Amino acid sequence: MLDFRSDTVTQPTEAMRLAMSRAEVGDDVYGDDPTVNRLQDMAAEMLGFDAALFTASGTQANLLALMSHCERGDEYICGQEAHNYRFEGGGAAVLGSIQPQPLANQADGTIALEAISAAIKPDDIHFARTRLLSLENTIGGKVLPLDYLARAQALAFDKGLKIHLDGARLANAAVACGVDMARIAGHFDSVSLCLSKGLAAPVGSLLLGDERLINKAKRWRKMLGGGMRQAGVLAAAGILALTEQVERLEEDHANARLLAELLGDVDWLSLDINQVQTNMVFASVNEGVDIQAKARSLREQGFIISPGKQLRFVTHKDINSDGIRRFAAALKAPV
């Protein structure tokens, strides 16, 4: 089966399975797991931070960041489309007593800097304290321009805000820009990064920041039930995600472009190929098309999609260019 729903479906590589089976481990709650420590040290070094923390998921890494930057009664500014606003169960509000202040994402995924400035609340007892700006890169498969990151960083600094990056797909953004992840991460006080999406590790994310932030995050992680024991079994795959899987994301991006080109002449879909910047292709389903029936037919032919009026096809290491061509041909065929 070729699964286009997400890059989270990637299977760990053989090298990862081997490394996991042989990983040297200890109790990470005591700080004793050498493989977790190696992953954290390596990630901090690669991304240019003092410290890193291995977490169960990207959701947990973002929540720890929000709870470590903000106190009860603070707020964070984020995009209306932000994962840490829309798709994380309201965790910051539920568990952190932190209020989101969502703002519209523009067509390129950025949030207008003027809108951010205007949303920062004055120091007044009527308002929550605006404490943090949270951006996402990539967002909806789009890469935030490097000069925008520099301007957002300067704005945050001027206004006394901290700035966090939900970098679940930071590696895709870096590969698309032709820069190291550190070049992007350098604009932020903290970054979360998923090891278990295009980078193919089975489980886990990282939060990066300075020592103080990571120490706070470690306390929250324990409270939230995320203190794992012999987690080196997982971290061993995470190390290979960072060392062996980043550069090959270029293939996923090329496959997404190929798919978008091939879908140009599918008569029941509309898409804008210029929107395809990384490993995602978005298409809208034309009126009158029974997408549920299409999805069932595709599944019988070995292709999995998430049906809806808006379709998202995600490319990843377990789909090669031959699979892309076969998928495009199946989409073209009548149901």
Ligand X SMILES: *Cc1c(COP(=O)(O)O)cnc(C)c1O
Binding-site ranges for ligand X (CB under 6 A): 57-59, 62, 83, 136, 166, 168, 194, 196, 205
HSE-CB for 284 with a 13 A CA cutoff? 5
**Does a cis peptide bond (omega within 30 degrees of 0) precede residue 138?**
yes
Give 112's Cβ-side CA count (13 Å radius): 8
Query: Which CB, 35 or 60, lies closer to ligand X?
Result: 60
Residue whose Cβ sits closest to ligand X: 58
Tally the C-alpha atoms within 13 A of residue 105's C-alpha that lie toward its C-beta: 22
Residue 71: what residue type?
E
**Secondary structure (3-state) at 193:** strand
Q: Is 103 helix (H, G, I), strand (E, B) or coil?
A: strand
Smallest distance from ligand X to CB 286, Å? 27
- CB of 56 or CB of 240, closer to ligand X: 56
Q: Which is nearer to ligand X, 60 or 99 (CB)?
A: 60
CA atoms within 13 A on the CB side of 149: 24
Q: How far is the CB of 288 from ligand X (least distance, A)?
A: 31
Whether the CB-CB separation of 146 and 179 falls below 8 Å is answered with: yes
Provide the minimum distance between the beta carbon of 54 and ligand X in the complex, in angstroms, as a whole number. Answer: 12
Query: Which helix or strand (DSSP H or E) is residue 58 part of?
Result: helix 58-69
* CA 43 vs CA 53, 198, 259: distances in Å: 9, 16, 32
In the complex, what is the shortest distance from the CB of residue 66 to ligand X, in angstroms, rounded to a whole number? 12
Cβ-based nearer residue to ligand X, 171 or 259: 171
Nearer to ligand X, 87 or 157 (CB): 87
CA atoms within 13 A on the CB side of 287: 0
CB nearer ligand X, residue 7 or residue 298: 7
Cβ atoms 320, 257 nearer than 8 A: no
| Shortest spacing between CB 268 and ligand X, in angstroms | 27
**Cβ 197 to ligand X shortest distance, Å:** 6
In angstroms, the CA 18 to CA 13 distance is 9
Our CB check for ligand X shows the closer of 95 and 289 to be 95
Residue 222's φ and ψ, nearest 5 degrees, are: -65, -45
Smallest distance from the beta carbon of 145 to ligand X, in angstroms?
Answer: 18
